[in-house]
Chains A and B, each alone.
Chain A
Amino acid sequence: MLTILFDGIAYGMLLFVLACGLAVTLGLMNFVNLAHGAFAMAGGYATVILVNNWGVPFFAALPLAFLVAALLGLVLERSLYVHVYRKSHLDQVLFTIGLVFMSVAAVDYVMGSSQVFVRLPPWLQGQFNVLGVGVGRYRLLIILVCGVLTVALQLVLSRTRFGSRLRAAVDDARVARGLGIRVDSVFAITFAVGSGLAGLGGALGTEIVGLDPTFPLKFMIYFLIVVTVGGTSSITGPFLASLLLGIGDVAGKYYVPTLGAFVIYTIMIAVLIVRPQGLFSRGGVR
């Protein structure tokens, strides 16, 4: 059972790293980015190419995956997304769905439609035995990396100037602009970092959840669930929500296989009925 818990935490933290960019984008710009998974996919495929084809060491590939996804995010944000900010939620949904379709088809064309795997360094494979509990090495790595990232994010948000500008802009963009905060730059940087984190998550997740061109579609709902349940007004909300979902999903699939996948969908629907603004958020969904 502890293994389940451990795996669930690993999965949850992975989900968090993947989804936190979406949470911030939604909370910050009130923008529904269903294409968020595409950036994760970009990071994942970048890592696969780097490690499998170009022999780059896994650990070096991870930050590169972040950069590739972040750069992609920055470019797309400045060129395309920025025109869609003021449009209705329906328009945003349609726009990002369009991007998803395009990215899925494009990756299918370039990389083929079968699932790809990353060649992990041997010392990351297998498990240790800690107090009789099987602790997967790779999953331990995920927990460590994601944990560090979460702490770093929280620190950036609460201790740095950028962080306070970001929080101000999330709270009220108009007032923030009035205070002289360059909200557009904050958006661009945040979007890029969020996409980069998604890319990193995609890279890390390849081994655990698999990677193929349909990744953005398959995982769209998971990201949305994290954001829905966790709310968008803090980092801790999505973090807790991701853990809840990760553990719930892994435990559900193990203990009740026929109903495993339903657990998270049902949680999401239940939460949305009871508290449309998310379990952990302060305010309402705009």
Chain B
Amino acid sequence: MSLPPARPDPGPARASRARWHPLEVLFWLAALACYFVLPSKHLILTEIAILALFALSLDLILGYAGIVSLGHAAFFGFGAYVAGLLAKHQLASEPLAALLLAGLAALLLGFLTSFLVLRGSDLTRIMVTLGVALVLREIANRYAWLTGGADGLQGVSIEPLLGLFRFDMFGRTAHAYTLAVLFVLFLLARRIAHSPFGLSLQAIKGNQLRATAVGIAVNARLISIYSIAAFYAGVAGALLTQTTAFASLDVFSFERSADLLLVLIIGGTGYLYGGLIGALIFKLMQDYLSALTPQYWPFWIGLVLVVIVLVGRDRFSHWTRPLHRLADRLDWRAGQARRATVSERH
């Protein structure tokens, strides 16, 4: 009787993806290093971290669950204003507590609006999410006695973090705070992505009909991830308010939702780091372009979008191919080609 074919057991290989790869460690060490090595850049690095968190939240629903949203800024803005109001009216003076509350508020909003994105085609989802974001902006605009309207929320002062660390004008506290929050939430997202729940999301994204036929309660899963993503976005918005002591209507703006999509396209969806990398590139690009043409930089953003689509998003993402190949070798990418293993067995 011949020996059973020697093949690597798929289970442990699959589970090993959840272990940290050296490159990941490198990434976070580099992020930490920036804090110490680039002291003059605290402000922009904080902005990048906030945008990264926001993009991560969209990746959870777009890259993993396949929900196309053009109004994700709704949750970002909601969290921003809640945090601002909590600080302004001294309802939750410790920033972390306010952060958590703002996130939970956004989670609630996400939960309440989640049923809108359960049904319908991509087009319906696009329009409904856009509509929700616009409604919120309109509400914030109308109730100016609460939100400051078009002038923005004034008089927000943020207490020292944990009672110890004052938010200084160089942005040191803000930077460390934002980076820490990003990291913690990233860890959480990473566990979700590697869990059975995360896998079921990918299944729903791939074939919703089949997912139901396997016993997955599709709607419940989508509502869950949508609410979680709203939480993340709300936290990102709250961070913005807390680090700038200001909140204005543009946290709800369409441009913000559109820029976010661009961030994810630049970085790639479905492997969690896409939002982070995309945020870095986008912010650097925005910084550079606004220095060139302060008023008209949206033109260049628009041009980038047009070119990316014309070239083809997948062909465009070839620049990230070395990264993707690396991720593939870790068997780490959600929804991408796996390596063929047959040839290695003979």
Contact = CB atoms under 8 A, between A and B. Distances in A.
B302 A98 contact: yes
Given A89-B122, A262-B138, A98 B116 contact: no
Contacts of A268: 127-128, 131
B334 interface: no
Contacts of B43: none
B185 interface: no
B127 A109 contact: no
B126 A102 contact: no
A47 B33 CA distance: 57
Interface string B240-251: 000000000000
A101 B299 contact: yes
Interface string B97-132: 000000000000000000110011111101110111
Interface stretch (B159-167, B278-286, B304-312, B320-328): B304-312
B124 A272 contact: yes
B295 A276 contact: no
A101 B122 contact: no
A89 B126 contact: yes
A93 B126 contact: yes
A153 interface: no
A217 interface: yes
A273 interface: yes
A102 B126 CA distance: 21
B132 A217 contact: no
Contact of B298 (A92, A94, A105): A105
Name the prevailing secondary structure of the A interface residues: helix
B124 A94 contact: no
B143 to A, nearest CB: 8
B254 interface: yes
Interface in B256-274: 258, 261-262, 265
Contact of A87 (B70, B130, B298, B309): B309
Nearest to A100: B302
B48 interface: no
A98 B254 CA distance: 12
B313 interface: yes
Contact of B295 (A108, A217, A265, A273): A108
A106 B116 contact: no
B71 to A, nearest CB: 10
Contacts of B123: 32, 89, 285
Given A269-B116, A272-B116, A272-B124, A101 B302 contact: yes
A109 B299 CA distance: 10
Contacts of A101: 255, 258, 298-299, 301-302, 305
Q: Which 8 A-B pairs have the closest CB atoms?
A: A101-B302, A98-B305, A105-B299, A102-B302, A98-B306, A95-B309, A276-B120, A98-B302
11 contacts: A98-B302, A98-B303, A98-B306, A101-B301, A102-B302, A109-B295, A261-B142, A265-B138, A268-B131, A273-B119, A285-B124
Interface of B: 68, 70, 115-116, 119-124, 126-128, 130-132, 134-135, 138-139, 142, 254-255, 258, 261-262, 265, 295-299, 301-306, 308-310, 313
Given A32-B126, A101-B298, 16 more contacts: A89-B123, A92-B309, A95-B309, A98-B302, A99-B302, A100-B302, A101-B255, A102-B298, A102-B306, A104-B302, A220-B254, A224-B130, A259-B142, A268-B127, A269-B128, A276-B120
Interface of A: 32, 80, 83-84, 87-95, 97-106, 108-109, 217, 220-221, 224-225, 228, 258-259, 261-262, 265-266, 268-269, 272-273, 276, 285-286
